[in-house]
Amino acid sequence: MTVPYSFAHPRDEILATMERIYEYRMTTTSGGNLSLRDENGDIWITPTRVDKGSLRREDVVRVHADARIEGLHPPSSELPLHLAIYRARPDVGGIVHAHPVALVAFSLVHEVPNTRLFHKARTVCGEVAFAPYELPGSEALARNVGAAFRPGRSCAILENHGVVTAGDNLQDAFHRFETLEFTGKTIIKARQIGSVRYLSDPEIELAAHRSSSMAELERTAPSTLEKELRQKLCEFVRRAYRQRLFTSTQGSFSVRLDESSFLITPFQVDRGRLEAREIVLVGNGGAEAGKLPSQASGNHQAIYRQNPGVHAIINAYPVNATAFSVTGVPLDTRTIPESHIVVRQVRTVKYGVQFQDNESLARQVSPSQPAAILENDGVLVIGSHILEAYDRLEVLEATAEALINCRAIGVLAPMPEDVIRELEKTFLSA
């Protein structure tokens, strides 16, 4: 993922990134460390023995290129690890080391997550390395990790320890870190319900060739309605990120503006930091000048064209529902009344349809069948307005999580057919 240059000071960038990691419980008070390398070759790094949940900008330590240390605290005990990666990879400008639960689980069984689970995971993370165990903070560990980050490798699982990711800058490293954790979580969930399907090279290439470029759309000043919808869409995208229904690199959300145009999330913009001005207007085969819309724009356009009553569409990657997408196990909504009423029956769409045939994908959903599982590519939901689509996504994910959890305690007892008929007659016959 291409990340724009940051205008934030290194202290502020480290602070903001650590806040995101800690807020989503991807590290602990004492665990994890971040660093970035500035244009002078100085390393800015989190301190040792300072609460990660209340880190202040003045706590960040500066390690000068001549090894002189400047700061209120000693640098992280894992400074040797960071320095080893920077020496091995002159192109690296940012590093994340932390102990997110799913990736720690992989480190405990000495396995790396297979990023062929999703085309985006493969693109963002690449192939994941494995670094043998050595004492934390030691030069021996630094050597092992430095060796793991040879050209072409930007993520490594540390044996019985955690994970390290690197990137052109700190935001790039964070995107890899979050995407890899999501991949690991999905594999763990998926293995509880079935056999996991991974993508072949041709399947990954199929997604890579999809373009988000469109002709430039000549537009007038935005109406009050457009301004309102931009703000509302942005708020729901950020909510989806907070609720872990999107990741920073994955998730598309659109809302219909009129018969021939809609607003959609942009391509390669962090979902957790999306601003209303970054939303892209699409209409009449073109996109707002100077912006790239989501690569799902063609799919959304076809769905709106075929379904006049649809006014909002979401492609999302909630971990539990996505686990069904990588196993082929049907997602049965006959669990509780809300699930069947809101989500209804869920169809599974074969991998590749969303990249090759917009019109065919559009025929897979309708107001009477508003949710679909996309094989190895998350879920698709539609609604008559933003809130309905978002509620449907939340209910779909809650249903998927309940289905996975119930396997640990017994066998699913779905609502019988007479109950389903009564629900449909009462709530869906209008």
By the 10 Å C-beta count (0-12 exposed, 13-18 middle, 19+ buried), 5 is classed as exposed
Residues 299 and 175 in one domain: no
Same domain assignment for residues 220 and 168 = no
In this structure, the answer to whether residues 178 and 247 fall within a common structural domain is no
CA distance 330 to 187: 17
Provide the mean pLDDT of the chain: 94
Which residue in this structure is represented by tokens 């100077």? 290
Domain CATH for 84: 3.40.225.10
Boundaries of domain holding 115 = 10-191
Is 138 part of a structural domain of the chain? yes
Which H/E stretch holds residue 390? Answer: helix 386-406
H/E element, 256: strand 252-258
pLDDT of residue 220: 82
> How do residues 191-217 score in pLDDT, each as one tens digit?
999 999 999 999 999 988 777 678 888
Task: Say what the pLDDT of residue 212 is.
Answer: 67
Domain count, the chain: 2
How do residues 250-276 score in pLDDT, each as one tens digit? Answer: 999 999 999 999 999 999 899 999 999
**What is the token pair recorded at 398?**
């809650």
* DSSP per-residue codes, 177-221: HHHHHHHHHHHHHHHTTSPPP---HHHHHHHHT-----EEEP--P
For the segment 143-195, what is each residue's pLDDT rounded down to a tens digit?
999 999 988 899 999 999 999 999 999 999 999 999 999 999 999 999 999 99
146 shares its domain with 234: no
Which residues lie below 8 Å from residue 413, measured CB to CB, with a gap of 6+? none
Q: What is the DSSP letter of 428?
A: I
The reply to whether 95 falls in a domain is yes
Q: Examine residue 423 and state whether it is found in any structural domain, yes or no.
A: no
Checking if the pLDDT of 2 tops 50, the result is no
Same domain flag for 294 and 399: yes
Contact in structure between 252 and 294 (CB atoms under 8 Å): yes
Q: Which residue has the higher pLDDT, 214 or 79?
A: 79
Backbone φ and ψ of 217, nearest 5°: -95, 125
pLDDT exceeds cutoff 50 at 1: no
